[in-house]
Amino acid sequence: HHRDVIPRNLPGDHISHYDLNKLASTPMAAYNKERVLILSPMSKFYNEYWQNILTLTYPRELIELGFIVPRTAEGDVALKKLEKAVKQVQTKDARFAKVTILRQDSESLASQKEKDRHALKVQKERRANMALARNSLLFTTLGPFTSWVLWLDSDIIETPHSLIEDLVSHDKPVISANCYQRYYDDEKKALSIRPYDFNNWVESDEGLKIAAGLEDDEIIVEGYAELATYRPLMAHFYDAKGDINTEMALDGVGGAAVLVKADVHRDGAMFPSFPFYHLIETEGFAKMVKRLGYEVFGLPNYLVFHFNE
Amino acid sequence: HHRDVIPRNLPGDHISHYDLNKLASTPMAAYNKERVLILSPMSKFYNEYWQNILTLTYPRELIELGFIVPRTAEGDVALKKLEKAVKQVQTKDARFAKVTILRQDSESLASQKEKDRHALKVQKERRANMALARNSLLFTTLGPFTSWVLWLDSDIIETPHSLIEDLVSHDKPVISANCYQRYYDDEKKALSIRPYDFNNWVESDEGLKIAAGLEDDEIIVEGYAELATYRPLMAHFYDAKGDINTEMALDGVGGAAVLVKADVHRDGAMFPSFPFYHLIETEGFAKMVKRLGYEVFGLPNYLVFHFNE
Ligand SMILES: Nc1nc2c(ncn2[C@@H]2O[C@H](COP(=O)(O)OP(=O)(O)O)[C@@H](O)[C@H]2O)c(=O)[nH]1
Ligand SMILES: Nc1nc2c(ncn2[C@@H]2O[C@H](COP(=O)(O)OP(=O)(O)O)[C@@H](O)[C@H]2O)c(=O)[nH]1
Ligand SMILES: [Mn+2]
Ligand SMILES: [Mn+2]
């Protein structure tokens, strides 16, 4: 039945009709030929990220890619590498439906080392800037026949190949994977894994109390000892022996690997760059999704892996 | 210099590059070949609206049109008339760059008579529904080279032909025209004009006091005696002998005829369907624009005219 949503493009007259009611986002996404838009803000190009994208099993002709690259020297380098990689694929038969590369218009923070960018005091400015980049990317690339948006940070270098099919199968408005990191454990002299992204969380009484005591324009960013929210963090709910499909309801999400039904964005869900219930960026996004009447979920046992600098 | 922003479309490989930094929104819009996207939610098709659009002097090849039509019997009629009108123009040489017609996916309120739809108690649901329609339209049609978005309600049947050039010349993030209505004055036995849209306003102490006393999920909608905000309303600032270019700063806007720099939307400005500082839809939009750090203006002496049922 997907033919109904394919635009009746009357060639030459530039008129397109779309019936949003027939635009589905279902667990049968690939079968129904539902379009998935993968959006990645990108300050660095990692070959492993790109190779991982190339191994995704969701039909490539149903995938659109969108990138936004900052206006920095680092961004220049990323852009060149990205363009080269994209060109190689897009000149082949098995290419993506569409690739859009945006150059950010705003300034970026100069220093992006892991230590610098995680300092609590630079978080507000950094995350506000990230929110603007995500919104520019979203507003510019979401098309009339996008069914799903997969937010995938460009330093996520390893996911199951069936990432899209897996997330789609949960049929949730918003669903977030658990973002871990591989590292070498010096004590155990062995490769191991550890939690990386602490932005997937459940609200706590402490968190609400802290928020109630804040000035209008102050924010809470999760994952800092200075702000002890005691929020249950999805990162800590990982159970290696548990069911990979276990779901948990969330109140905050990170941006590492999050699948969103396109209609949730179309209803207005964006990434606030200003304090929204004392939250910004992906955490503010989750709050906005809930204000729009949707539920947000996470998959504690479904891991994706962040690059290790 | 506009050539820089035209996408380097590499035909065949489906890759597009856009530099948002070179995408300008300037008072020299037509000269710079800046693209304007006119967005109209449409429950009824008025021939006068369409004729007015056709007489706009901004270069038609730089204008894209976007419509969203509700899923009602009334919407069916509007859609048929709109499609016929659009087809007539788009098969000619002087056609619009692009026309997108969306069919809304959500339900609409059945009764849309002026009296019914203005009853205070139905406003919250009605305006929330309008916000969702506006967001769907915006998120779906805003493209990578849109410079300006003109929100123009489909019952605005008369504007200066130079509407776009005039609004653009003010070079503001958001600027709203003053929406009046022509009517027959039975006492004076003559045609006259009267204010129609009361959603263009300046915040007042009373307004802030009312907001402070509201429950989290309660809203203020302007223009109702039941909620006396004493907000200065732009509708009342019209001076027939005044300078047509007079600007005034606003805190709330209506959707009748509002020009928005596309980058303001790209930063995340949308129409909240949930109470946002006790405001929704276009009034909530203005508040969000301000939270994003932009200013909002109105032109009290610059009139556009609403249909009179
Ligand atoms: N466009 C853009 N992307 C950025 C910027 N800073 C970081 N990114 C990307 O945004 C994502 C998240 O940022 P990152 O610094 O990795 O966040 P962290 O992993 O939470 O510390 C990654 O994909 C980065 O490549 C920026 O200034 N502009
Ligand atoms: N898509 C859509 N458009 C609508 C709906 N209701 C009204 N409109 C349009 O939205 C605009 C504003 O609505 P209207 O009822 O005229 O508001 P008012 O003039 O403030 O009373 C007009 O262009 C209407 O045609 C709806 O349910 N869906
Ligand atoms: Mn990262
Ligand atoms: Mn109206």
Identify any residues that bridge with A90 across adjacent strands, giving them in sequence order: none
Which has more pLDDT, B290 or B120? B290
ipTM: 0.93
CA B51 and chain centroid, separation: 18
Distance, in Å, from the CA atom of A284 to the CA atom of A290, rounded to the nearest integer, reads 10
Distance, in Å, from the CA atom of A294 to the CA atom of A173, rounded to the nearest integer, reads 6
- What is the distance in A from the centroid of ligand 2 to the CA of B137? 13
Q: What is the pLDDT of residue B66?
A: 97
CB pair distance less than 8 Å for A267 and B144: no
CA A167 and chain centroid, separation: 12
**B280: its two tokens:** 């929704």
- Where are the strands (E) in chain B, listed by range? 15-19, 35-41, 63-69, 98-103, 146-152, 156-158, 174-185, 190-195, 248-249, 257-261, 296-306
Nearest residue in chain A measured CA to CA from B22? A105
Backbone angles phi, psi at A13, to 5 degrees: -95, -5
Query: What CATH number corresponds to the domain at position A232?
Result: 3.90.550.10
Which segments of chain A have a pLDDT < 50? 1-11, 109
Summarize the confidence of residues B145-166 as an average pLDDT: 98
Among candidate residues A275, A218, A220, the one with its CA nearest the CA of residue B277: A275
Interface test with A, best of B4, B8, B13 (most A CBs within 10 A): B13
Domain that holds residue A55: 2-22+29-306
Which has more pLDDT, B120 or B166? B166
Atom of ligand 1 nearest to the CA of A254: 20
Calculate the average pLDDT of chain B.
91
Cα dist from A128 to A134, A135, A141, A253, whole Å: 10, 11, 20, 15
Choosing from A38, A40, A42, A43 the residue with most ligand 1 atoms within 8 A of its CB, the one to mutate for a pocket test is A43
Distance, in Å, from the CA atom of A25 to the CA atom of A32, rounded to the nearest integer, reads 9
Distance, in Å, from the CA atom of A135 to the CA atom of A276, rounded to the nearest integer, reads 15
Among candidate residues B48, B96, B291, the one with its CA nearest the CA of residue A131: B291
Do A259 and A296 form a contact (C-beta atoms < 8 A)?
no
- What is the distance in A from the centroid of ligand 3 to the CA of A142? 23
Summarize the confidence of residues B89-108 as an average pLDDT: 87
Assign B1 a pLDDT band (cuts: 50, 70, 90).
very low
pLDDT digits (tens, 9 = 90+) for B248-292: 999 999 999 999 999 999 999 999 999 999 999 999 999 999 999
Distance, in Å, from the CA atom of A112 to the CA atom of B174, rounded to the nearest integer, reads 34
Summarize the confidence of residues B291-308 as an average pLDDT: 98
CB pair distance less than 8 Å for B21 and A103: yes
CB pair distance less than 8 Å for A270 and B265: no
pLDDT digits (tens, 9 = 90+) for B194-243: 999 999 999 999 999 999 999 988 999 887 877 889 999 999 999 999 99
Q: What is the pLDDT of residue B17?
A: 83
Summarize the confidence of residues B22-40 as an average pLDDT: 93
For chain B, give the percent of residues with pLDDT over 90: 81
The reply to whether ligand 1 has any atom less than 6 angstroms from the CB of A200 is no
Among candidate residues A225, A219, A190, A230, the one with its CA nearest the CA of residue A119: A225
For chain B, give the percent of residues with pLDDT over 70: 92
> Could you give the number of structural domains in chain A?
1
